[in-house]
Amino acid sequence: MIINYNIGIYGISGSGKSTLITQLNKQSSKLKYFEGSKIMENILNDDISKFKFLNDIQKYKIREEVISIIKKESVIDRHNIIDGHYSFIKEHDNFEIAITKADLEFFTHIFYLDIQDEIIKKQQVNDKSKKRNFTIEQIKKWKEFEKLELQKICKNNNIDFYTLNTNNLNTNIDYIQEIINKENLLNDLKKYTKNNNVNKYILFDADNTIINFDTGKDHMYKTLNIDIKNIKSCFKDDGYCFSSFLKLSKIHSKIDNSSFVNAMKHIASKIEIEDEFLGLMQMYNKKYNICIVTAGFKLLWQEVLKKYNLENIKVFGGNNLNIDDYIIDNNLKGLIATYLQSNNKYVVSFGDSLLDKDMLINSNKGYFVIRNKIRDDVISELCKHNHIKHLSINSLNTDYLEETNFNKIREELN
């Protein structure tokens, strides 16, 4: 279960807060959007114009009531996202502060829309529903004031603060989702490691590492009638990065949940972990915390492990926005190893591809699995690190990494 975040999208009038949140909300089923001005309008009996005639104390109470209503209407399994105002520009370019103590106690994250002054001006002019005749100089001054003040106030109140300084809507949406995704993973990792007295970890990649095929390409996509060309196109422009895996997850999320889950369970029933890797899992299941770290199908691997009575093995995985709490990409694989090491854990990892590079590098010991192909693009990076060895499954070898075998690995793990 994910931890709920209370996310504020801030920016001066005309910066595009509502547009950003509306599109973000459409792309994620794990967000609940609260429009602050609409809630305030309901409090004022559908007449928002009354607000400007209230005194400062009355305004403050109304703003705090907005947060109180949002708290009551929050749901357990979705993050709250709210458009917010830090300040309003008044006569003589002074500012009326709109943020309250209740806001600062409520928000866990604030994202600030720091887009170009000229674009804000254009959006203000184009929005005929509101009268906003601010000069470029006023917009610039207003933005700088809010950014500096929010940075300070967020730091003092343990609120994570981020700026969105591109005018590209999709880039901003991806960035917000990446931050939330990363924190969902970290919270899961912290929960797993908390009060755990075993300080040694083995991290196994899944597809093409502990089995000799790819469960997606060879099974899932055929079962679900997903064109493999559409899968490959996700990585065509940017390679392995969060936005690419997000595209992939959106394709998976178009399949109805029951069909997706049934396909994973059906395929899991046919999968057998290779004997040598299974032996390592069974032999060191008490001495080490063993984890599967996969950008593949989380439930599928949980079902596979269940067949071997290895349910205690943790699966860090995800590639479906509707089913999974987070998406695993190459960066998060590396982050898991980094987090464990930074908390004085001993980390051993196994992986077979560029996707596993950071996880192998950030471990105390890394084993690069070579099957049917020498991956020069990966080896050229891994060979710079003496703690990484190559494990050949089909007699393919490389001179750039020290070779090992399962007997030697067992000796090193003992």
Lowest mean per-residue pLDDT among 6-15, 97-106, 202-211, 370-379:
370-379
Q: What gap in Å lies between CA 80 and CA 112, rounded to an integer?
A: 16
Give the pLDDT of residue 132. Answer: 75
187 close to 309: Cβ distance less than 8 angstroms: no
What's the 3-state SS for 188-219? Answer: HHHHHHCCCCCCEEEEECCCCCCCCCCHHHHH
Tell me whether domains 6-181 and 198-413 share a fold.
yes
User: Which fold is adopted by the domain 6-181?
Assistant: Rossmann fold (3.40.50)
Share of the chain above pLDDT 90, in %: 78
**β-strands 388-392, 402-404 pairing:** parallel
Give the pLDDT of residue 237. Answer: 87
Give the pLDDT of residue 333. Answer: 98
Q: What gap in Å lies between CA 354 and CA 374, rounded to an integer?
A: 12
Look over the chain and give the mean of its residue pLDDT values, rounded to a whole number: 93
Q: What is the pLDDT of residues 25-76, one digit of tens each?
A: 888 778 889 988 889 989 998 888 888 889 999 999 999 999 999 999 988 7
- Which amino acid, one-letter code, is at 234? C
Distances (CA, A) of 313 to 201, 289, 366, 385: 11, 7, 19, 28
- Nearest partner of 227 among 254, 261, 256, 258, judged by Cα: 254
User: What residues does 84 pair with on adjacent strands?
Assistant: 10
Mean pLDDT of the region 132-159: 94
Which residues, including other chains, have CB under 8 Å from residue 320's CB and lie 6 or more apart? Answer: 249, 252, 253, 260, 297
394 pLDDT exceeds 90?
no
How remote is the C-alpha of 203 from its chain's centroid?
20
Q: What is the pLDDT of residues 331-386, one digit of tens each?
A: 999 999 999 999 999 999 999 999 999 999 999 999 999 988 888 888 988 999 99
Lowest mean per-residue pLDDT among 223-237, 262-276, 384-398:
384-398
170-173 long-range contacts, CB within 8 A, separation 24+: 172/20, 172/113, 173/20, 173/23, 173/24, 173/27
Give the pLDDT of residue 398. Answer: 86
Q: pLDDT-based confidence at 1, cuts 50/70/90?
A: low
Q: Which two tokens stand for residue 132?
A: 């906003």
Q: pLDDT-based confidence at 2, cuts 50/70/90?
A: low
Say what the pTM is: 0.91
24 close to 173: Cβ distance less than 8 angstroms: yes
Give the pLDDT of residue 27. Answer: 82
- Report CA torsion sign: 251, 255, 256, 257: negative
Scanning 194-310, the segments in alpha helix (DSSP H) are 215, 221-223, 228-233, 242-253, 257-268, 275-283, 298-307
Give the pLDDT of residue 414. Answer: 92
193 close to 340: Cβ distance less than 8 angstroms: yes
- 198-413, superfamily in CATH? HAD superfamily/HAD-like (3.40.50.1000)
- Nearest partner of 1 among 62, 59, 113, 79, judged by Cα: 79
Q: What gap in Å lies between CA 340 and CA 203, rounded to an integer?
A: 11
Give the pLDDT of residue 133. Answer: 79
Q: What gap in Å lies between CA 311 and CA 318, rounded to an integer?
A: 17
Domain boundaries, the chain: 6-181, 198-413
- Nearest partner of 391 among 369, 376, 406, judged by Cα: 369
Please state the length of the chain: 414
Share of the chain above pLDDT 70, in %: 100
Name the 3-class secondary structure at 323.
coil
107 close to 31: Cβ distance less than 8 angstroms: no
